[in-house]
Amino acid sequence: MAQLLQHLINGLAAGTIYALVALGYTMVYGVLKLINFAHGDVMMVGVYMGYATAFALGRQTQKTFLGVVLIFLVAMGGCALLGFLIERFAYRPLREKPRLTALITAIGISFALSYGFQLDIGFLPGAAPRAFPEIIQPTEWLVIGDRDVVVWNWQVMSLLIAVGLMVGLQWLVFKTRFGRAMRAVSYDHRVAALMGIPTDRVIAVTFMIGSGLAAGAGLLYAIKDTSVSPLMGLYVGLKAFVAAVIGGIGHVPGAVVGALLLGLVEEFVVGYAASTWRDAVAFGILILVLLVKPGGLFGRVAAEKV
């Protein structure tokens, strides 16, 4: 029983991080109908930014409240900028081209980032994983029995942050002027442009929000698993993408549900079945969901206009 509870907590903790990354995929897909393969790698860059900031702050300052806020701000801001640059120079010129072109570009950026960061030339960090500093002193938030079940402060914290961000995002999309513009662009960006909506700006801002979210998620991830490596983006990104597709890509609550589902399923497969089959299970679920419900659990397949 205690074990089950612990698995549940682990799974939720993993799921919330997937969810935050998945939200970025879903948002970008919503406005551009583009699978931003580079999303996970943007996240990785954000984590390295946070890592560098933490170092610059030094051992003492990085643990203060202000220090943590600063680390998050730098990483999220830096990533928003990176997202903006990628959108501006790599995706925008391709907006009217076939969708495949943008997809290939996204894959190219993903490669350039994840492998570029493995170089040890100049400021690039090199391939070896590094320990992420404990910017949040881990303390036990809840202990049941003789440490049978342990819940840590950062687990609660990341859950709260994740939920907060999701609610915020939902509010942004459905209750604000900007959200309305986003939805209009998502529906048909050409028509939206004709209606006087600044399409370029809406898409750019969406990208920036998505990238900033990714950086935040990445930092929570790094705090959780205490290490940073250039390939982390590929792994987490892929899983988050799977989660977004399972939930129905383009659908905000769907992404969250898909991510939590994936986190829990992975946890339980490892905990109770064969841990060696975990990655196969994730993709197996993906394929199954796509076959049964091609639009994902919540998404709808838009009938192609003929």
Partner 1 sequence: MRRSVPMLLAALAVMMAGCEKKTQPASTETDTSKQAAQGQGGTAPATPPAGTPTGEADTILLGVATSLTGGQATFGVSTRNGIEMALKEANEAGGVKGKKVAMRVYDNQGKPEEAAQAVTRLITQDKVVMVLGDVASSNSLAMAEKAQAAGVPMITPSSTNPSVTEKGEYIFRICFIDPFQGYVMAKFAREHLKVSKVAVLQDNKSAYSIGLTDVFTRKFTEMGGRITSTESYSQGDTDYRAQLTAIKKSQPEAIYVPGYYSEVGVIARQARELGLKVPLLGGDGWDSEKLYELGGSAIQGSYFSNHYSPANPEERIQKFVADYKAAYGGVPDALAALAYDAARVAIEALKKAPDTSGKALRDAIAQTKDFPGIAGVITLDENRNAVKPAVVLEVGDGTTKYVTTVNP
Partner 2 sequence: METSSVPTPSPGGLPPALRGILPVLIAVPVLLLFDRLLASAPFATYLLSIMGVNVILAVSLNIVNGMTGQFSIGHAGFMAVGAYVAGVLSLSFKETALSFLPVAASDQVFLVVALLAGGAAAALCGFLVGLPSLRLRGDYLAIVTLGFGEIIRVVVQNTDAFGRALGLSGIPQTSSLAMVGFWVFLVVLVARRIAYSSHGRSLWAIREDEVAAEAMGVDTTGYKVRAFVVSAFFAGIAGGLFAHFVPIINPGSFTFVKSMEIVVMVVLGGLGSTTGAIVAAVFLTLLPEALRSAFTVMGAEGSLAQKVDQIRMPVYGLLLVALMLLRPQGLFGMKEIWEVLPRWLPRRRKGLA
**Interacting residues with partner 1 (CB under 8 A):** 3, 6-7, 10-11, 13-14, 118, 126-131, 138, 147-148, 150, 152, 221, 224-227, 229, 231-232, 235, 266-268, 270-272, 275-276, 278-279
Which of the listed partners (partner 2, partner 1, none) does 102 bind, with a CB threshold of 5 to 8 Å by partner kind? partner 2
Instruction: Give CA–CA dist 25/245, Å, rounded.
Output: 9
Site mask, partner 2, residues 232-251, x = CB under 8 A?
--x---x--xx--x------
Indicate the residue among 157 and 297 with the shorter CB distance to partner 2: 297
Task: Determine, following the binding rule CB under 8 A, whether residue 219 of this chain makes contact with partner 2.
Answer: no
Two tokens at 1? 């029983």
Instruction: Give CA–CA dist 305/188, Å, rounded.
Output: 12
| φ, ψ dihedrals at 124, nearest 5° | -65, 145
Q: Using N-to-C axis directions, what is the helix angle for 232-247 and 2-32, rounded to 10°? A: 80
Least distance (Å) between residue 240 CB and partner 1: 13
Query: How far from the centroid of its chain's Cα atoms is residue 306's Cα?
Result: 34
Tell how strand 140-144 and strand 130-131 pair up: unpaired
E strands, 136-249, are 140-144, 149-152, 227-228
Residues forming beta bridges with residue 140, ordered by sequence position: 152
Segment interacting with partner 2, rule: CB under 8 A, options 43-51, 55-63, 203-211, 271-279: 271-279
Segment interacting with partner 2, rule: CB under 8 A, options 57-65, 103-111, 217-225, 257-265: 103-111
Two tokens at 247? 């939930």
Instruction: Give CA–CA dist 269/275, Å, rounded.
Output: 6
Which of the listed partners (partner 2, partner 1, none) does 223 bind, with a CB threshold of 5 to 8 Å by partner kind? none
Which of the listed partners (partner 1, partner 2, none) does 291 bind, with a CB threshold of 5 to 8 Å by partner kind? partner 2
Two tokens at 275? 């841990």
Task: Determine, following the binding rule CB under 8 A, whether residue 195 of this chain makes contact with partner 2.
Answer: no
Residues 106-135 that bind partner 2 (CB under 8 A): 107-113, 115-116, 118-119, 121
Helical (H) or strand (E) element with 131: strand 130-131
Task: Tell me which of 21, 192, 202, 286 binds partner 2, using CB under 8 A.
Answer: 286
Indicate the residue among 53 and 105 with the shorter CB distance to partner 2: 105
Give me the half-sphere count of Cα atoms (radius 13 Å) on the Cβ side of residue 228: 28
Task: Determine, following the binding rule CB under 8 A, whether residue 304 of this chain makes contact with partner 2.
Answer: yes
CA distances from 287 to 15, 177, 290 (A): 19, 37, 5
Which of the listed partners (partner 2, partner 1, none) does 52 bind, with a CB threshold of 5 to 8 Å by partner kind? none
Contact at 8 Å (CB) between 266 and 281?
Answer: yes
Task: Tell me which of 81, 103, 149, 157 binds partner 2, using CB under 8 A.
Answer: 103
Contacts to partner 2 by CB under 8 A: 35, 90, 93-94, 97, 99-105, 107-113, 115-116, 118-119, 121, 234, 238, 241-242, 245, 274, 276-277, 279-280, 283-284, 286-287, 290-291, 294, 304, 306
